[in-house]
Chains A and B, each alone.
Chain A
């Protein structure tokens, strides 16, 4: 072996040794979970409850100049998108919304997380009467800029026990409950079967059985906005919100809707684009059921230059209930211009399992009671309420439901129908 061969071997070994010994960092240790701990320095500070803070700053946009510290537990955040750039926290006394100019806040502020807030430098105000802690924007209460978050909001410990909702009744709400997590029991949705929000706007959905008008408002940016509202009744919880003088509920996600039944729609007709499969049958009188495209409803009135005697039916197509063990009818209606005293006799609902076509034969039909009528003197719609289909009609394939309208030469009301629905 000559010198050059030995050298070659040495250099090969050197190259290999270099290759093996020189490492480039590629593996990284996983950082440990951070358990945040708040340790404020001991400068003068005022610990305050949220309720006291709200009392101290009652305006629409007050600058907080004192070294006030509040603390609370996160009750809602923007995870589902129903809240946007906001979280709510609450302590034993009250709840408050924190408006922050940052998306996906939930990544940092999970429900159950304890948060301390150094309020000095922030603004407390009311947005259409809803209290918010944030920053000033265009002279009004707005969102805390992102860069200021780390100066004002401090998480403490890992998310722990979640706040228990307070059971409230929509008839007994007060301002002190606003921004708190509340729960309402034994309610149902008037708009079951529709979506939580409108297509391109927030949706207001009425709760029923609460003895008062009460709205569940859902943003069209919520990740459940296009889901169907369940029927039946149950418990609903969320953050109590306030808009001018109206209470409304913001649910955090669909887990806040408890015990409801997600049911199948067997038949539906909105009347928005015509009468659909329904057929008008005029037993007497010149006027008939028509579709009102402008107001998106089915409409009947005996008035034409004066009051006219009429009997007019609007009969559904055959609805197949052959494999159904329970079914419910519901619709919205408005009645106006008639004699309110006769409203419940002149506007009635009927059911048949034998009718096939033509004018209705009374022997084919049985009347169903409409639980809720509108005022009779306005164009405001009322929900009919749930109308259970009698057991005799379940298991039948030719079930028809009809609206029967009566008017006379002395009075002729207008009856408008929307959102007719038969659900399981």
Chain B
């Protein structure tokens, strides 16, 4: 350790003699309007810069030679210009960009499948990277509908910054893209770091980092109004943005607002109701100081879809069946509604100390609430229509022998009776009304699981050009997080009251008047609409990260070294004393702390100005996520047993080529995770309690290659090919510890046989072939995407000796069925879009129409999970029905469209 720091520090402060400089200059303009394009990324031979307000740029390169300058900015075609640098500055003159479809115009950014499983939410990546890198562009754009994860990493390994503020969630570690949904116009400017590479705003992580520049002075000047019509998550979107640009008085203002709504999305019973607003103000005090204030929020409310088993999909001949909704008085009502409103306020200060030194600082505060509703019931049947006991398969198993009339009757009821196929709201109300007559508590309620967050951020970073050959970037990131978790009674569904006890404990500990209490200080409390109940606790964390990066550049080679150290402390504060753990559940828990580091180094060898080889290596540690730190945070402050910091070693080697008519990249990568930890939570029907399972000491390897290239076939026609091949696997047998929520059994620990299983959740092969045609401000895109090596996420529960207990060696086929990992079918989708930009004096009209999955492939499973429950017969002490709990799947949408009309002036 000490050696590493010594090395790090000596390299950071090591300086080298300077070399002669070469540079490329030019000006980037909108081909249609002729106006300057600011914030466009200009890169050549591993060097990059952004254009200024006048569209001009100066890109320093370290040697003479042939280069290809690549200009990238959202809303325009990626444009490359060849240039020969001989000595001094080479001017490429004016670069006219052709407008193209933007992410907000294609609507792809807003495909968000709602994920819900017993275990964990399906992660959705929504950042569309606009970079000169063909692979990254395509992977983040075309593959998003299949939840393709770059290099197979979990989303917490992708960092997102807004004006330098790291906004990944304090508990799940993930960036929640919905927080700025509907603000596409003002979230256009961004810097992106691929994979493990570090950059100006961050030391980076494993799976890429993005920094959004939202300050008012960098927003495109003018007004823009757009209307979109779609059949995906929402039906309509209106959006308006107005930016003043930097005015004579050195002020800049931006306002943006949008509304997205739809009574029903692609999936039946889902609805969308979102607003968004953004206000930005910036004052340039002098050439050295600017101050910017950014505030935004995107309050949204959505009705969710659900995953179901193939039995249900096949019976209904509909892979988009949604069990979350039902009719209430003839209207479709969704039981699972997600609301979120997490405003963010950022105050940023831009200080240019001298020509070569800038300090960017920000103070930010975010606050807000997100909620997720669900049905709850007391001493009544599970009201979810696709609960396994309600399905034909289970129901037909009685009586003996199978009654064919019965099977047909059940299927007919499913097909023809919405009160069987969907939630029977009227039935739930009627049950409650009958309880009212008896003076009893509700049988059914709708509860809202709420997370309310407050977070302060303070960041500062330094970017210094030390001399012609070296730069130093570094910074400090501080934050204080508080996340309050509780549930409220959202709707009594016609009943009079609910009683706050844990019914699972009540069943198991009838004589125990303590254990069943959720809130021992208020036992047997009567709960009415709006009351908090069930659980109520806060998680706190304080974080401090210090990072530094030193980059060196020479004619033939570049290299960098950098690292970060971070300290973190966290604790739980219980607002209720839970009867299952009276000792730790109430008030402040012990404070725990973590310490982590990362070290990165890289080397680039420039074969010429047009192709180079680059190598990155990184070693880092990471503490378990706050979300996973407590085994059952609703009831106890006990930590998840055995969780340790994950140790990560990662490296990649790339060959990058940038020729005027051909550019692309080929990368080989490998990442080894050692001591990965996860926490799973599921309901065990046999024991009738929630079970928490912590998975620790898990090792993984993620390896593979990425290839992306774009070739110009003609001046107006280009072809893009992308191929990602991954091998993401578990490489050891981790430890699983089960904890029973109702306290009916002591914790049990056992080996989980995961070695050589595949890490699921993302296709391991994804490829795309696209054609782009652009002429006279018409453009046509056609993309064919192929996916394969898709593995269903494995559930550790099924890979333990206790699961196969009692099975004989001769029953190896049963063991196989239980433990084998399911490979999902690969498949192909075709996306097409057409657009036209029209100029009428100084008014511009854009019309885009895109169709995703043109061939309407409805057989592609985009996600899913193995159910955690196993039909284990306690009396027989062995597995009973192998197929009682088959996997649940989400399917990628079939054919969808997005029409966008934009008017800019």
Chain A interface residues (CB < 8 Å from chain B) = 4, 7-8, 11-12, 14-16, 18-19, 22-26, 28-31, 33-34, 79, 101-104, 107-108, 110, 135-138, 142-143, 145-148, 158-159, 195, 223-228
Kindly identify which residue among B275, B399, B905 contacts A145, using a CB–CB cutoff of 8 Å: B399
Report whether A14 and B238 are in contact in the complex, using a CB–CB cutoff of 8 Å. yes
| Complex contact B510–A11 (CB within 8 A) | no
Of A12, A15, A24, A102, which one neighbours B262 at CB under 8 angstroms? A24
- Once A19-B238, A28-B331, A28-B333 are accepted as A-B contacts, the answer to whether A226 and B275 lie under 8 Å apart by CB is no
For residue A104, which residues in chain B have a CB less than 8 angstroms away from its CB? 379-381
Answer whether A103 and B381 are a contact pair too, CB < 8 Å, given A31-B328, A33-B430, A158-B437: yes
Q: Are A226 and B510 in contact, CB atoms less than 8 angstroms apart? A: yes
Taking the closest CB of chain A, its distance from the CB of B515, in whole angstroms, is 12
Which B residues lie within 8 Å of A22 (CB)? 236, 259, 261
A107 and B223 contact, CB distance less than 8 A: no
Question: B571 near A: Cβ within 8 Å?
Answer: no
- Are A29 and B329 touching (Cβ within 8 A)? yes
Give the complex CA separation of A18 and B390 in angstroms: 43
Alpha-carbon distance A319/B593, docked complex (angstroms): 54
Bound together, the chains give a CA A14 to CA B275 distance in angstroms of 14
Give chain A residues whose Cβ lies under 8 Å from the Cβ of B263: 24-25
Q: Are B240 and A15 in contact (CB under 8 A)?
A: yes
User: Can you list 16 residue pairs at the A/B interface with Cβ under 8 Å?
Assistant: A8-B242, A12-B240, A18-B236, A24-B271, A31-B328, A31-B429, A31-B494, A103-B389, A104-B380, A107-B380, A108-B431, A145-B395, A147-B413, A148-B406, A158-B434, A228-B511
Of B262, B406, B510, the residue contacting A223 (CB under 8 A) is B510
Q: Assess whether A34 is in contact with B333, with CB atoms less than 8 Å apart.
A: no
Complex interface: chain A residues within 8 A of B903 (CB): 11
When distances are taken between beta carbons in the complex, the residues of chain B under 8 Å from A103 are 381, 389
Q: Across the interface, which residues of A come within 8 angstroms of B511, CB to CB?
A: 195, 226-228
Known: A104-B379, A145-B406, A148-B409. A138 touches B507 (CB 8 A): no
With a cutoff of 8 Å between Cβ atoms, the chain B residues found around residue A16 in the complex are 257
In the complex, what's the smallest C-beta–C-beta distance from A229 to chain B, in angstroms?
12
- Decide: B329 and A28 in contact? CB cutoff 8 A: yes
Q: When A30-B429, A31-B328, A148-B409 are in contact, do A137 and B400 touch as well, CB less than 8 Å?
A: yes
Apart from the given pairs A147-B406, A148-B406, 8 other A-B contacts in the complex at a CB distance below 8 Å: A15-B257, A19-B257, A31-B328, A31-B329, A145-B406, A146-B395, A159-B437, A226-B510
Cβ-defined partner of A79 (8 Å) among B379, B398, B401: B379
Q: State the 9 A-B residue pairs at the shortest beta-carbon distance, nearest first.
A: A137-B399, A24-B273, A226-B510, A19-B259, A11-B225, A15-B240, A33-B433, A147-B410, A8-B223
- Please report which residues of chain B, range 393-413, place their CB below 8 angstroms from some CB of chain A when the two chains form the complex: 395, 398-401, 403, 406, 409-410, 413
Provide the residues of chain B in CB contact with A159, threshold 8 Å. 434, 437-438
**Minimum C-beta distance from B381 to chain A (A):** 5
Nearest CB in chain B: distance from A156 CB, A: 14
Return chain B residues, CB-CB under 8 Å to A15: 225, 238-240, 257-259
Q: How far is the CA of A101 from the CA of B395 in the complex (A)?
A: 9
The reply to whether the CB of B443 lies closer than 8 angstroms to some CB of chain A is yes
Q: Tell me if B143 counts as interface (CB < 8 A to partner A).
A: no
Pick from A11, A110, A148, A225: contact of B240, CB below 8 A.
Answer: A11
Q: State in angstroms the CA–CA spacing of A12 and B240 once bound together.
A: 7
A224 adjacent to B510 (CB under 8 Å): yes
Within 8 A of A (CB), among B869-905: 903, 905
Q: Mark B252-271, 1 if CB is under 8 A from A, else 0.
A: 00000111011100000001
Name the contact of A30 in the complex, choosing from B390, B399, B494 (C-beta under 8 A): B494
A10 to B792, CA, bound (A): 51
CA of A18 to CA of B401, assembled, Å: 60
Interface status of B425 (Cβ within 8 A of chain A): yes
| Alpha-carbon distance between A12 and B238 when the two chains are bound, in angstroms | 10
The residue that B398 contacts in the complex, of A108, A137, A223, A224, with Cβ under 8 A, is A137
- Total A-B Cβ pairs within 8 A: 132
**Do B328 and A223 touch across chains, with their CB atoms under 8 A apart?**
no
Q: Distance (Å) between the CB of B22 and the closest chain A CB? A: 43
B272 at the interface (CB under 8 A from A): yes
| Chain B interface, number of residues (Cβ within 8 angstroms) | 54
A110 → chain B, closest Cβ, in Å? 5
> A11 vs B510: C-alpha distance in the bound complex, in angstroms?
64
Q: Of all chain A residues, which has the CB nearest B242? A: A8
Determine if A142 and B507 form an interchain contact, defined as CB atoms under 8 angstroms apart: no
* Nearest-Cβ distance from residue B240 to partner chain A, whole angstroms: 4
**Please, which residue of chain B has its CB at the minimum distance from the CB of A30?**
B494
With contacts A31-B425, A147-B413 taken as known, whether A136 is within 8 angstroms of B431 at the C-beta atoms is: no
- In this assembly, does B301 line the interface, its C-beta being within 8 Å of a C-beta of chain A? yes
Question: Given the complex, which residues of A lie within 8 Å of B259, measured CB to CB?
Answer: 15, 18-19, 22
Output the least CB separation between A135 and chain B (Å): 6
Distance in angstroms from A365 CB to nearest chain B CB is 37
User: A26 to B271, alpha carbons, bound, how many Å?
Assistant: 10
A107 touching B431 by the CB < 8 A rule?
yes
Assembly CA distance A13 to B194 (angstroms): 41
User: How far does the alpha carbon of A158 sit from the alpha carbon of B435 in the complex, in Å?
Assistant: 11
Cα–Cα distance between A287 and B14 once the two chains are bound (Å): 97
Closest Cβ of chain B to A367, distance in Å, is: 37
Cβ contact of B399, chosen from A29, A34, A136, A158, cutoff 8 A: A136
| Given A22-B236, A31-B328, A31-B429: A101 and B398 interface contact (C-beta under 8 Å) | yes
Q: Which of B350-406 contact A (CB under 8 A)?
A: 379-381, 389-390, 395, 398-401, 403, 406
Q: Is B46 an interface residue (CB 8 A)?
A: no
Rounded to whole angstroms, the CA-CA distance of A4 and B262 in the bound complex is 30
Indicate if B426 sits at the interface (CB-CB under 8 A).
yes
Contacts of A226 in B (CB 8 A): 510-511
Note all chain A residues with C-beta closer than 8 A to B272. 24
Cross-chain contact A14 with B225 (CB below 8 angstroms): yes
8 Å CB contact of A4 from B258, B434, B905: B905
Q: How far is the CB of B504 from chain A (nearest CB, A)?
A: 13
Interface residues of B in 498-516 (CB under 8 A from A): 506-507, 510-511
How many angstroms between the C-alpha atoms of A14 and B379 in the bound complex? 51
A135 near B399: Cβ-Cβ < 8 Å: yes
Give Cα A102 to B395, complex, Å. Answer: 10
Residues of B within 8 A of A148 (CB): 406, 409
Bound CA span A239–B389, Å: 29
Question: How far does the Cβ of A103 sit from chain B's closest Cβ, in whole Å?
Answer: 6
Point out the residues of chain B lying under 8 angstroms from A142, CB to CB: 398-399
Chain A residues within 8 Å of B329, by CB: 28-29, 31
CA distance A22 to B258 in the complex (A): 12
| A7–B406 touching, CB < 8 Å | no
Contacts of B271 in A (CB 8 A): 24-25
Q: Which residues of B contact A24 (CB under 8 A)?
A: 261-263, 271-273, 301
Q: B436's closest neighbor in chain A, by CB?
A: A33
- The residue in chain A whose Cβ has the minimal distance to the Cβ of B394 is A146
CA distance A102 to B542 in the complex (A): 51
How many Å from the CB of A111 to the closest CB on chain B?
A: 8
Contact B426 A31 (CB under 8 A): yes
Contact status of A138 and B238, CB under 8 A, knowing A15-B257, A159-B434: no
Given contacts A24-B273, A31-B429, A143-B398, contact A110 B380 (CB under 8 A): no
B262 CB contacts on chain A under 8 angstroms: 24
For A110, give its contact among B236, B328, B413, B434 (CB under 8 Å): B434
* A19 and B260 alpha carbons, distance in the complex (Å): 8
CB A197 to nearest CB in B, in angstroms, measures: 10
Contacts of B333 in A (CB 8 A): 28
In the complex, what residues of A have CB within 8 A of residue B399's CB?
101, 135-138, 142-143, 145
Q: Which of B262, B272, B507 has the most CB of A within 10 A?
A: B507
Residues on B with beta carbons closer than 8 Å to the beta carbon of A7: 223, 905
Q: Identify the closest chain A residue to B225 (Cβ).
A: A11
Given contacts A31-B426, A138-B399, is CB(A26)–CB(B381) below 8 Å? no
User: How close is A297's CB to chain B, nearest CB, in angstroms?
Assistant: 26
Asked if residues B225 and A225 are in contact (CB atoms below 8 Å), the reply is no
B228 to A: closest C-beta gap in Å:
12
By beta carbon, the residue of chain A nearest B419 is A150
Assembly CA distance A136 to B406 (angstroms)? 12
